[in-house]
Chain A
Amino acid sequence: MANDRTAPGGMGMLLLALLEGRDMYGYEMIEALRTRSNEVFRLKAGTLYPLLHSLEAQGWVTSSDGVANGRTRRYYAITRDGRAALAEQQAGWYAYADAVRGVLEGGESLWRVSA
């Protein structure tokens, strides 16, 4: 779970990226993750909520009760610390992806980085 939360490219980073756009409740996040990943990421609720609650304990997201369609829902919002963590994880992920692409495409990209 710790890796999911803090690793670049982990599920924690994806959840923070979703919340960077707007506040969401749990079900909305699973749906948004599914549609935005072209059905690749189908997260179970049983995985989502413990992950969200650990992000909250970390201080990266906060939650509050709000009303949607006449029902009370627990909305999650990204904090300033969460945005900083997201930026750091995104940078780590792009560097990693660039390195992988460099290897796959014959080393040009890697050579460019190290040159």
Chain B
Amino acid sequence: MARECVNEYLETVGGQIRWRRARRLLLRELSDHIADQAAAFEAEGRSPEEALAGAVAEMGEPEAVGRELDRLHRPQNRWGLAITVAALFAAGVLLQLFAAGLMGDAKDVFYFRRQVLGLLLAAGVLAGLWFSDYTLLLRRKWVPAAALLLFSLAPLWGLPFGWPYFTYYLMLYPTLLLPVPYAALVVSLRGRGTRAVLLCGGLALPLPIWAFVAVSSTGYLVTLASMLLVLLAAVGLGWFRGKRRWNLLAALGPALAIPLYFLRHLEHAARRIDAFLGPDLFYERLRMGELPSLFVGSSPELLLAEAAQGLGRWVFWAAAGLIVLFAALLLRRIHALHSRTGKFLALSAFLPLFLQAAIYWLYNLGWWPLGVLSLPFLSYGVFFLLVDAALAGVLLSVFRMDALVRDTAWASSAPSPRPSALDIPLGRGQLHIEYRKGEQHF
């Protein structure tokens, strides 16, 4: 009977809360409170039935409570970000329409149609992730590791189709999504010691290795840098036990040694770096604001350089301004998130987008020695569009769910503040001790 009374109370409160995902969490808190109150009443000598009924009576009027909780817990959809991405999608299609000179050439028509189809798919991926529950990544300790493994093994899915072409896509693109499950892994290891930092720092190196195999040093570096920046942020905030200095070394130590080795031994990257450092027509022309002569038609890698040649150098400064503006606005939003877990996940989705844009800009000016990925949402490339849309979808999901995400408390190595009062059960009552602040007398 009393149990029914509790259920009825919770159902009535829940009936007022429109957001289904919020309902479960809020009712759990109220239900815990009823259990605590009932246990206290039982300790006073009431029967379990009376205790539960009494606890429910102490809760307050359920409709009013539900209405108030509903008002405070609405999904926070960042329409501004969604509209910006949609505008960039549209601008990208228009740019390609002009850049390709879409008049009569059957090949250009094919690529344009392919990109439009990709854009529709990307919009679906973005919307799907936006309204999904990203906290699924954090529900169980093993989920981040499983997600990392799944992304790392992605190229093996290409085996039945033969290695060469299809597998290339499966090597490079899923790699760029790795920072998101990696951030979830860092969050799940919160509170551990220096060895956990070393594990994360070391793991960041082999995880994006498929990008390296696909001869995309930039893909490798963007993923690696995104993951390490997330790890450094966690270490900087004191999320791991032990001395911060050692933790920073553990995070960066492996990364400092190994990429140098790889870069030196990868023939393709080495050739590019030689060209970058030595006299080379490609880089020199770009630095002078001219298009390299080997590109007769339009290149998806040189959208900004092409636009600058037609419209003037100001295109670069406008692009840099927009990249910095978007980055600053997004970082401000990320900083304002309540959940620290959400902040890390958002950072892990933001960094690959920002680094891609920054590298694209540098490359178009002739100041990036390696290859280029994409100018997010704008440059040609169906798979890049899908990856970038997925990252934007994760960002939108983190913003949307912020009010519901709870960080897990953990025992901090820092001393906790002294309580101002202490209540100790004594006989039937309690002994109440107040600590006085200010002067200390010896």
Q: Which chain A residues have a beta carbon within 8 Å of chain B's beta carbons?
A: 1, 17, 20-23, 25-27, 31-32, 35-36, 44-47, 49-50, 53-54, 56-57, 59, 62-66, 71-75
Contacts and interface: CB of A to CB of B under 8 A. Distances in A.
B60 A45 contact: yes
A21 B408 contact: no
B406 A63 contact: yes
The 3 tightest CB contacts between A and B, nearest first, are A46-B60, A66-B409, A46-B65
B421 A46 contact: no
Interface in B24-44: 26, 29-30, 32-37, 40
Contacts of B420: 17, 20-21
Contact of A44 (B26, B59, B417, B421): B59
Nearest to A75: B409
Contacts of A63: 406
Interface stretch (B67-75, B99-107, B283-291, B371-379): B67-75
Given A44-B59, A49-B29, A1 B338 contact: no
Contacts of A22: 416-417, 419
A45 to B, nearest CB: 5
B61 interface: yes
A47 B60 contact: yes
B68 A50 contact: yes
Contact of B432 (A36, A46, A57): A36
Given A46-B59, A46-B65, A71-B32, A53 B73 contact: yes
A41 B29 CA distance: 21
B406 A74 contact: yes
Contacts of B59: 44-46
21 contacts: A1-B68, A21-B421, A22-B416, A26-B29, A27-B32, A27-B37, A27-B40, A31-B423, A35-B430, A44-B58, A44-B59, A46-B65, A49-B26, A50-B65, A50-B69, A53-B73, A54-B72, A57-B403, A62-B338, A64-B406, A64-B408
Contacts of B416: 22
Interface in B363-412: 403, 406-409
B235 to A, nearest CB: 20
Contact of A21 (B407, B419, B432): B419
B16 to A, nearest CB: 12
A53 B73 CA distance: 9
B69 A53 contact: yes
Contacts of B90: none
Contacts of A74: 29, 32, 406
A70 to B, nearest CB: 12
Given A22-B417, A32-B423, A50-B69, 19 more contacts: A1-B68, A17-B420, A20-B417, A21-B419, A25-B32, A31-B423, A35-B423, A35-B430, A36-B421, A44-B59, A45-B33, A46-B65, A49-B33, A50-B65, A50-B68, A50-B72, A56-B338, A65-B409, A73-B32
A29 to B, nearest CB: 10
Contacts of B72: 50, 53-54, 57
Pick from B61, B407, B416 the residue with the most CB of A within 10 Å.
Answer: B407
B62 interface: yes
A63 B26 CA distance: 13
